[in-house]
Structures are given as structure tokens and as C-alpha cells.
């Protein structure tokens, strides 16, 4: 930090006029203090900010100032923020008039790359924002996953995981954004190939009531993994050529348990996981499905007798 501060002071001592965009010499960067209200915040890969952490940062900025300069570029005579939106917001909250900035000459692609590096390596960006940011960089620059990984200092496997996350349904992405599921749990969901199966699993594992009732709730990656393993056991089993088995008898339900497994309602699927207790061999799953469908039919029969009486 002392090197940055010394360089900043040296640049300012040479008479760089703050707040005046000029043509930047591509051979070097320019360090200067810029009024907060003269910095435009344009599209950022980061969409969400933790309010508590932002307030903590604002308190630190009020006490110590902005130690790490923001990165900006000049477009049409205006300063456009490239990296450091959290520090810019904190400076506003702390009442600072100007902030230290590195004025850098860069195009849109380099600006996007700088945002991702800034957020993923230092500012703990939300998992959903990071995933879509990685995908945007990968697609806009038409990069391979290997080159994308090299640009961001990540592994190629990590990049492929981020891109896969962007394909999850909106409900799952919102759960990830709110911390109801974590990255590991979300990665498990991406392993489900069939969209219909993926939607069924999401409905089965996520708490009921929607996002308004998700506060303080968490679904472990282990639970999601258990569901995925159950579906994999089904998918890897030999296909059964049946049309619509009646399921009237226990023997028939056990014989066609794979069919009935995919007919379970979300709450029944949760019950199925409880009955299996982490054991997903064919006999255990057949017994669990038999019990659930049997109880469903018994309840339906009881309702019918009640209505007739």
C-alpha cells in the first residue's frame, strides 16, 4: 500500500489537475484524485452488494480514506468506473469529496476483464454475478475456456463450472444468490442432464414459501447430492418398456419403481430421501417408492369413502 500511496503523491505533486479528463498516454497510467460525483458507474458484472459489509467498509474509509485506488477510464470526456464500485459507494457513504484513481486507457473487453479480476480475487463477488460475468467475458471475447481461465488466474475446470451455473433455472439462481444453497450444492444441480428432472429436484429440495420465506434457511450440498445420486441410479438402470403401470399392487410398484420414482410430488420426493437414508441401491429405492405410492393410494381411497358417507 505504501508504494501505491507514494506513487499517487508523486503524481499529484507534479501538478496533475484533478477532475479533468485528458487523452491518456497508452505507455503509462495516470494517478490522480477525482471528485466522486464526476465518476460514472456503468454496467458492472457485480449486481449485488452486501449492505453490512458495505457499511463496515464505509466506516473504514471514513477513518482511513480510500487506500486502494479505483480504476477508471475516459469515454467522451467523462470518467467511467472500471473497478472499485464498493470503494466508490463506501466513499459516498463516508462523505468523501474525491477519491484516488488510476486512469487507464482500455477498451470494453479489457474493462470487463479488469472487473472480473477485481471482484473474484478481492471483493468476494456473489456467486451468481461471478458466473454470469465469466460467461460474458468468455462469449464476448470469443475465448476458449482455457484462455478465459488464464486471463482470470483460475483453473479451466472452475471456468466450466461457472458457465454451467448460468444454465440453472431462475429459482435455483435466486436461492444461490440468497445463500439458501451454496456453490457446491448448485454445482450438484448442474450435473442433472434433463431439464424436467432438474426442475423436480429443485422443487423438492428448496424450502417451501418462495424467496420471501428463505431468510435464514439453508439446504446443504449433501442433501442435494443425495437427490442427484438417486436420479443417477435411476438413469443408469436399464430402461423399462412400460406404458403406464397401474401401481395397484405392491409387487407391481416394486417392479416398476423407476417409473413411479419420477411421478413423486416434491414433498413425496423429500420423504423418499428420508426413507432411503443415504442408501440408493435398487432394493432400497423400490421399497421406499412402494411405501409412498401405497400410502398415497390408501389416502385417496379413504377420501373416497369419506365423500360417499
Please report where in the chains the cell 409387487 appears, as a residue: 251
Ramachandran angles phi, psi of 276, nearest 5°:
-70, -30
Report the distance separating Cα 292 and Cα 109, nearest Å. 54
Give SS3 for 144: coil
Helix axes of 156-165 and 145-152: crossing angle, nearest 10 degrees: 110
Tell which residue, 41, 38, 45, 46, has the closest CA to residue 19: 38
Please identify every residue annotated as catalytic: 85
Tell which residue, 43, 40, 41, 42, has the closest CA to residue 19: 40
Please report where in the chains the cell 470526456 appears, as a residue: 77
Cβ pair 18, 98 in contact under 8 A: yes
Cβ pair 45, 133 in contact under 8 A: yes
DSSP 27-54: TS-EEEEEEGGGEE----S-----HHHH
- Residue partners of 25: CB distance under 8 A and separation at least 6: 105
Amino acid at each position: 500500500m505504501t508504494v501505491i500511496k507514494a506513487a499517487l503523491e508523486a503524481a499529484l505533486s507534479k501538478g496533475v489537475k484533478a477532475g479533468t479528463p485528458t487523452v491518456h498516454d497508452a505507455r503509462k497510467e495516470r494517478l490522480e484524485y477525482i471528485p466522486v460525483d464526476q465518476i460514472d458507474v456503468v454496467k458492472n458484472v457485480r449486481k449485488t452488494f452486501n449492505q453490512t459489509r458495505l457499511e463496515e467498509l464505509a466506516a473504514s474509509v471514513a477513518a482511513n480514506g480510500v487506500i486502494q485506488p479505483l480504476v477508471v477510464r475516459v469515454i467522451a470526456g467523462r470518467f467511467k468506473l472500471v473497478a472499485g464500485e464498493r470503494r466508490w459507494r463506501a466513499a459516498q457513504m463516508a462523505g468523501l469529496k474525491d477519491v484516488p484513481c488510476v486512469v487507464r486507457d482500455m477498451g470494453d473487453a479489457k474493462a470487463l476483464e479488469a472487473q472480473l479480476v477485481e471482484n473474484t480475487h478481492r471483493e468476494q463477488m456473489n456467486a451468481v454475478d461471478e458466473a454470469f460475468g465469466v460467461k460474458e467475458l468468455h462469449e464476448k471475447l470469443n475465448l476458449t475456456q482455457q484462455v478465459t481461465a488464464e486471463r482470470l488466474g483460475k483453473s479451466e475446470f472452475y471456468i466450466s463450472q461457472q458457465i454451467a451455473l448460468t444454465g440453472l433455472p431462475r429459482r435455483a439462481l435466486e436461492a444461490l444468490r440468497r445463500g439458501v444453497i451454496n456453490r457446491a450444492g448448485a454445482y450438484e444441480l448442474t450435473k442433472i442432464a434433463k431439464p424436467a428432472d432438474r426442475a423436480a429436484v429443485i422443487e423438492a429440495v428448496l424450502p417451501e414459501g418462495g424467496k420471501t420465506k428463505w431468510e435464514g434457511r439453508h439446504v446443504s450440498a449433501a442433501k442435494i447430492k443425495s437427490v442427484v445420486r438417486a436420479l443417477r441410479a435411476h438413469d443408469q438402470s436399464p430402461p423399462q418398456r412400460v406404458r403406464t403401470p397401474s401401481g395397484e399392487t405392491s409387487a407391481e410398484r416394486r417392479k416398476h419403481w423407476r417409473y413411479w420414482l419420477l411421478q413423486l410430488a416434491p414433498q413425496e420426493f423429500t420423504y423418499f430421501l428420508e426413507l432411503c437414508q443415504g442408501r440408493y441401491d435398487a432394493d432400497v429405492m423400490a421399497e421406499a417408492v412402494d411405501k409412498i405410492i401405497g400410502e398415497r393410494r390408501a389416502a385417496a381411497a379413504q377420501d373416497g369413502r369419506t365423500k360417499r358417507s
